């Protein structure tokens, strides 16, 4: 393990706080480091491996496709890409799909599509996009510009122009930010990095209404909350409204890198050949992994599993809220869950890892849980019991 860490510090750019854990193998909800220690993974690669690690249907799809065709470029039609587009369109609001390699790329494409649509209809002056406070949409320059936390901006200025922020769940704040230049509004139905904050139904319905009234495009970033994570195939289904554009990534390929932008036909038609593209996006291997993932989710109706197990998880966590005065609330939807504390959460993440359970802390004080949707109730119970034990240690030391 020491050689990997030493070489990593020597040869890799310092962009992650990795600690000393070196993961060598994974199956289902279990990770194993190179020394053989096992961990219960309650993060699924940050909401990526929704079917669990190395799921057989995904592994088989990748193996079979790798033997046949890995890459050919988007100069030609790719059957797996078109089948994936069809399945996504048939199971969502959208009419068209575009494929790329990551969530950041998907949001970049969504920004370009929104601006191009508005440019064709209204001219070059209507190009501003409103994002929400506590948002996170990526680390490219454009997606940083719609990510509200200034710590991600430091040292990378100047930020691209044409972006502003409104308060999440505050329709008056959004309306106050709208001008004749506004072309789109982007929102996460459930914010991940911002603290596992679910949008209020009233807010999203009001937002949809004002966007429709003013012909402003509504973009939903479902990179973390999509693909059955929240108890619906897509999180927007909780709210009985539909966006004009939606970005996907993370769990779409169950660990294989792929991103997507879905859009209504009238919006998608704004793109013409040459307006946008990607060398690797939608390649046969990535699309085969995503197809296997999506077909399994649809066949097994994993959103129902996420809803049921998410309710159970939240019920168990609520007991900790009632037991400890500094445990504030349980948040989220489905198996996208946050436990908000009144004290810093990072020490608990470390202690849980020592106990063999991997969780995460976001927004400073929110313990985040994003397990695979196949997680068993006994593993949820183990997680809560271990948290209870560790919280008890903290209570005794205070």
Q: What is the pLDDT of residues 299-319, one digit of tens each?
A: 999 999 999 999 999 999 999
SS3 assignment, position 183: strand
Structure tokens at 208: 């949809």
| Fold category of 69-300 in CATH | 3.40.640
CA pair distance 335, 331, nearest whole angstrom = 10
CA-nearest of 93, 144, 76, 125 to 267 is: 93
What would the two tokens of residue 395 be? Answer: 């209570």
Would you call 217 exposed, middle or buried from its count of C-beta atoms within 10 A (0-12, 13-18, 19+)? buried
pLDDT at 397: 55
pLDDT at 249: 99
CA–CA gap between residue 375 and residue 49 (Å, rounded)? 11
Cα atoms in the Cβ-side hemisphere of radius 13 Å centred on 28? 9
The pTM of the full predicted model, rounded to 2 decimals, is 0.97
Q: What is the DSSP letter of 216?
A: -
Do 70 and 296 form a contact (C-beta atoms < 8 A)? no
DSSP state of 252: G
What pLDDT sits at residue 394?
Answer: 78
Residue ranges of the chain with per-residue pLDDT less than 50: none
Helix (H, G, I), strand (E, B) or coil at 39: strand
Tell me which residue of 234, 229, 267, 239 sits closest to 110, measured CA to CA: 267
Determine the pLDDT at residue 395. 64
CA separation (Å) from 226 to 149, 208, 221, 231, 232? 22, 19, 8, 9, 8
* Side-chain-side CA neighbours of residue 371 (13 Å): 29
Task: Work out the number of other CB atoms within 10 angstroms of the CB of residue 362.
Answer: 18
Which residue bears the tokens 């919006």? 267
Bridge partner list, 339: 330, 367
**Token output for 138:** 């990526």
End-to-end CA distance of the chain: 35
How do residues 253-301 score in pLDDT, each as one tens digit? 999 999 999 999 999 999 999 999 999 999 999 999 999 999 999 999 9
Burial class (CB in 10 A: 0-12, 13-18, 19+), 348: buried
237: DSSP letter: G
**pLDDT value of residue 27:** 98
Q: Tell me how far apart the 2 most distant CA atoms of the chain are, in Å.
A: 64
Measure Cα distances from 109 to 112, 272, 273, 330 in Å. Answer: 5, 13, 14, 34
134 Ramachandran zone, left/alpha/beta (phi>0; psi -120 to 50): left
Q: What is the DSSP string of 150-162?
A: GGGTTTSPSPPSS
Q: Between β-strands 38-41 and 96-100, what pairing exists: parallel, antiparallel or unpaired?
A: unpaired
The neighbour count for residue 151, using CB atoms within 10 Å, is: 6
Q: Per-domain residue ranges for the chain? A: 2-54+302-397, 69-300
Contact 255, 228 (CB under 8 A): no
Quick one: pLDDT at residue 398? 54
pLDDT at 34: 95
2-54+302-397: CATH, from 3.30.450.70, 3.10.100.10, 3.90.1150.10, 2.102.10.10: 3.90.1150.10
Q: Which residues of 49-82 are buried (b: 16+ CB within 10 A; e: fewer)?
A: bbbbbebebbeebbeebeeeeeeeeeeeebebbe
Is residue 183 within 8 Å of residue 129, measured between CB atoms? yes
């Amino acid at each position: 393990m020491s050689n990997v860490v030493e070489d990593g510090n020597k040869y890799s750019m310092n962009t992650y706080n990795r600690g000393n854990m070196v993961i060598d193998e994974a199956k289902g909800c279990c990770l194993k480091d190179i020394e053989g220690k096992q961990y219960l993974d309650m993060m699924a690669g940050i909401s990526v491996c929704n079917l669990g690690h190395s799921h057989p249907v995904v592994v088989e799809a990748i193996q079979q496709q790798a033997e046949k065709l890995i890459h050919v470029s988007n100069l030609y039609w790719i059957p797996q890409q078109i089948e994936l587009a069809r399945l996504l369109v048939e199971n969502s609001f959208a009419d068209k799909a575009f494929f790329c390699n990551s969530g950041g790329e998907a949001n970049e494409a969504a920004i370009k599509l929104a601006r191009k649509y508005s440019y064709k209809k209204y001219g070059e002056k209507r190009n501003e996009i409103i994002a929400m406070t506590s948002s996170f949409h990526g680390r490219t320059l454009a997606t940083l510009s719609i990510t509200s936390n200034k710590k991600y901006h430091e040292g990378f200025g100047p930020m691209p122009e044409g972006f502003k922020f409104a308060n999440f769940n505050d329709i008056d704040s959004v309306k106050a930010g709208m001008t004749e230049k506004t072309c789109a509004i982007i929102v996460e139905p459930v914010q991940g990095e911002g603290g596992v904050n679910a949008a209020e139904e009233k807010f999203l319905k009001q937002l949809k209404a004002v966007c429709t009234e003013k012909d402003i495009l509504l973009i939903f970033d479902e990179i973390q909350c999509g693909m059955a994570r929240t108890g619906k195939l897509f999180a927007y289904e909780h709210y009985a409204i539909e966006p004009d554009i939606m970005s996907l990534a993370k769990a779409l390929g169950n660990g294989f890198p792929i991103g997507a932008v879905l859009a209504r036909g009238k919006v998608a038609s704004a793109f013409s050949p040459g307006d946008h593209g990607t060398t690797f996006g939608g390649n046969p291997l990535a699309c085969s992994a995503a197809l296997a993932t999506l077909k399994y989710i649809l066949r097994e109706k994993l959103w129902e599993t996420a809803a049921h197990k998410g309710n159970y998880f939240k019920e168990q966590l609520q007991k900790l809220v009632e037991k400890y005065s500094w445990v504030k609330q349980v948040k989220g939807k489905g198996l996208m869950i946050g436990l908000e504390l009144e004290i810093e959460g990072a020490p608990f993440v470390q202690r849980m890892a020592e106990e063999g359970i991997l969780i995460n802390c976001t927004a400073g004080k929110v313990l985040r849980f994003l397990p695979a949707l196949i997680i068993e109730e006994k593993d949820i119970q183990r997680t809560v019991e271990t948290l209870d034990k560790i919280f008890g240690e903290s209570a005794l030391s205070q």
